[in-house]
Amino acid sequence: MSLQDFIDDAISPWLNDGGEDNDIVLSSRIRLARNLDKVPFPTSGKEEPLEKVLEYMEEEFNGQTFNGFKDFQLAKISDLDPVEKRVLIEKHLISPNLAENERSGAVLISKNEQVSIMVNEEDHLRLQIYYPGLQLKKAVDTAFEIDDWIESKIGYAFDEGKGYLTSCPTNVGTGLRASVMMHLPALTMTNQMNQIVPEINKLGLVVRGIYGEGSEALGNLYQVSNQVTLGKSEEEIIQDLTSVVRELIDSERKSREWIVQQSGIQLEDKLFRSYGILSNSRIIQSKEASKCLSDIRLAIDLGWIKGISKTILNELMVLTQPGFLQHYAKKGLSPSERDVFRAKLIRERLTLEEEK
């Protein structure tokens, strides 16, 4: 496999399709938490019913196609080695929690990786769908279509008063978690994110790092999502989140204009130094690589670095993670070996971009 072939696999195909405000919003995600009716929830600790859920999902949905989402393939967690599980986590197709379920855990993934359905994570089913850029309305409409397709074959645990029943109380009601992944370097550089995050939390929303709860904002990437599902309609959740995201987009753009006016050549020097580090370093840790990639993406958006696609941040943020590095190397790598291999891949990737 050539490096170019690997890059094609490293980034999910749907990410190449653009989308509204994709200079700041990398992706929109809808996740629906669902449980089967009259079957003990995964948190009950009873494995036999969960194994039957897995068998049923494999029989009914493996290899199926729905509305252009082709060839859903089921992967059992027990059949994956540690590196394969890490790769799926890095591509946001499964959660770290699901990766630990060796007995009854599985995931159904569409061919273009835009849809993944986690089986026996915290709930029996967690349906995820992604769209590039800010496309929450389109994503939620599609998610409900897929949800109806699944529900036509199985019955969900549902209460007329409470809504969809879930393992975690915060998901009861709609069972809907909407989120966007945003690149906010200017708001971070000006220390505004420290003030913004508490204000967003007051609105029933939450700001997390790139891998969700408990993760840090590597590369100035933030995941903004709803916190509450009970007592709000799906439409209200999407409207509230979209409104806040649009305010963040506006604030980020104004901050970019401000730091360019205030810093000028100093900012340009900082961003180009990051480009120089990635182009020439022989050893680089994940955190430093993420910071430099964020700087390059900002320089591209500002028009200072030309001839390099802005999707490079999407690609290399995945390509340089531990799972993918070891997958490409076809062997386990120590942390120090990963730092060397990461630097090599980044240099080669930038060279490929410059030769286009």
pLDDT digits (tens, 9 = 90+) for 170-207: 778 889 999 999 999 999 999 999 899 999 988 889 99
- Percentage of the chain beyond pLDDT 70 is 92
DSSP state of 209: B
Please tell me whether 238 is known to bind a ligand.
no
Per-residue pLDDT, 162: 87
Using pLDDT thresholds of 50, 70 and 90, give the confidence band for residue 340. Answer: very high
Strands (E), 139-291: 158-159, 163-164, 176-183, 205-208, 221-226
Pairs from 89-98 (Cβ < 8 Å, separation ≥ 24): 89/211, 89/323, 90/318, 90/321, 90/322, 90/323, 90/324, 91/12, 91/318, 92/29, 92/128, 92/130, 92/211, 93/128, 94/118, 94/121, 95/121, 95/126, 95/212, 96/211, 97/121, 97/122
Instruction: Determine which helix (DSSP H) or strand (DSSP E) holds 136, and give its type and residue range.
Output: helix 136-151
Q: Hey, CA dihedral for 232, 136, 181, 198, is it positive or negative?
A: negative
Q: Are residues 218 and 268 in the same domain?
A: no
Please tell me whether 178 is known to bind a ligand.
yes
Average pLDDT, the chain: 88
Please tell me whether 282 is known to bind a ligand.
no
**Amino acid sitting at position 112:** N
Q: Is 62 left (phi over 0), alpha (psi -120 to 50) or beta?
A: beta
Please tell me whether 27 is known to bind a ligand.
yes
State yes or no: pLDDT of 347 exceeds 50: yes
Mean pLDDT check: name the lowest of 35-44, 128-137, 250-259: 35-44
Tokens of 157: 């645990």
| pLDDT 10s digits, 237-281 | 999 999 999 999 999 999 999 999 999 899 999 999 999 999 999
Please tell me whether 126 is known to bind a ligand.
yes
Q: Are residues 137 and 274 in the same domain?
A: no
Please tell me whether 92 is known to bind a ligand.
yes
Three-class secondary structure of residue 36 per DSSP: strand
Q: Are residues 12 and 104 in the same domain?
A: yes
State yes or no: pLDDT of 217 exceeds 90: no
Please tell me whether 338 is known to bind a ligand.
no
Boundary of a domain, candidates 255, 275, 299:
255
| pLDDT 10s digits, 197-206 | 999 988 889 9
State yes or no: pLDDT of 138 exceeds 70: yes
State the distance between the two ends of the chain, measured CA to CA, in whole angstroms.
19
Please tell me whether 86 is known to bind a ligand.
no
Per-residue pLDDT, 354: 62
Please tell me whether 1 is known to bind a ligand.
no
Boundary of a domain, candidates 255, 283, 303:
255
Distance CA 211, CA 91 (A): 10
Please tell me whether 103 is known to bind a ligand.
no
Boundary of a domain, candidates 200, 229, 255:
255
State yes or no: pLDDT of 87 exceeds 60: yes
Mean pLDDT check: name the lowest of 28-42, 144-158, 212-226, 281-295: 212-226
pTM attached to this predicted model:
0.88
State yes or no: pLDDT of 7 exceeds 60: no
Please tell me whether 212 is known to bind a ligand.
yes
Total domain count, the chain: 2
The answer to whether residues 45 and 134 touch, using CB atoms and an 8 Å cutoff, is no
Please tell me whether 208 is known to bind a ligand.
yes
Domain range for 221 is 3-255
Please tell me whether 117 is known to bind a ligand.
no
